[in-house]
Structure 1
């Protein structure tokens, strides 16, 4: 006879579902409140929870954008104009607004909605 505690501990937490609205709103607030520094956290949390290939790809993209923004901040002078400013603004907006919107608008899988 199998131990019920051992069988339950093997199952993924939450059954792989996307969290409800309140946890997603709180998770989406992380990149906004950190001004993009923690922009990859929501997508990594969703990918860890669901484990789908598309979720891991989104987490990889937002991690790359966040790390790129960190390097851009470190290598760009304080007063920038033109292309450098545009790249900085694009990376900042993707790292904050993009990550928050992704967290809020991620859809449930067809099997989870039934």
Structure 2
């Protein structure tokens, strides 16, 4: 009985690890190619795979920026100036460039090898 419980708790190989360089580059291309509309996807994938609190907080931050960008894109008129344009540019850059950079440079956990 104890052996079957112990076997169920053994982690699968590669589970909880950050993807390799090529999958991370492809994952980082998602927010860039979607112009920030899918900016939360890379951080959610990393948080799902590793499950660390810091990863989930980063996923929450990028999800909030992405949802803010959705609302900003839907509610902002084409001719914007001043503070509204600045907020639009900030949300756009955070959900595109910020999400891509986070995905590319996320650190490995202490127990993981590169």
Normalising by structure 1, we get a TM-score of 0.89
Does structure 1 residue 49 correspond to structure 2 residue 49? yes
- Counterpart of 1:86? 86
Distance 1:83 1:112, change over 3 A: same
> How far did residue 113 of structure 1 move?
2.9
SS at match of 2:35: coil
Instruction: Give the Cα–Cα distance (whole angstroms) in 2 for the partners of residues 59 and 12 of structure 1.
Output: 23
Instruction: Give the Cα–Cα distance (whole angstroms) in 1 for the partners of residues 24 and 61 of structure 2.
Output: 19
CA deviation string 1:20-48 (max 9, x = no partner)? 00000000000000000000000000000
Unaligned runs of 5+ in 1: none
> How far did residue 67 of structure 1 move?
0.1
Distance 1:71 1:13, change over 3 A: farther
Matches within 5 A, 1:25-44: 25-44=25-44
Instruction: Give the Cα–Cα distance (whole angstroms) in 2 for the partners of residues 41 and 84 of structure 1.
Output: 26
Instruction: Give the Cα–Cα distance (whole angstroms) in 1 for the partners of residues 73 and 32 of structure 2.
Output: 17
Unaligned runs of 5+ in 2: none
- Counterpart of 2:108? 108
Aligned residue pairs: how many? 112
> How far did residue 75 of structure 1 move?
1.4
> How far did residue 12 of structure 1 move?
5.3
> How far did residue 74 of structure 1 move?
1.3
Structure with more of its chain in helix, by fraction: 1
Normalising by structure 2, we get a TM-score of 0.89
The runs of 4+ residues in structure 1 deviating greater than 4 Å are none
- Counterpart of 2:73? 73
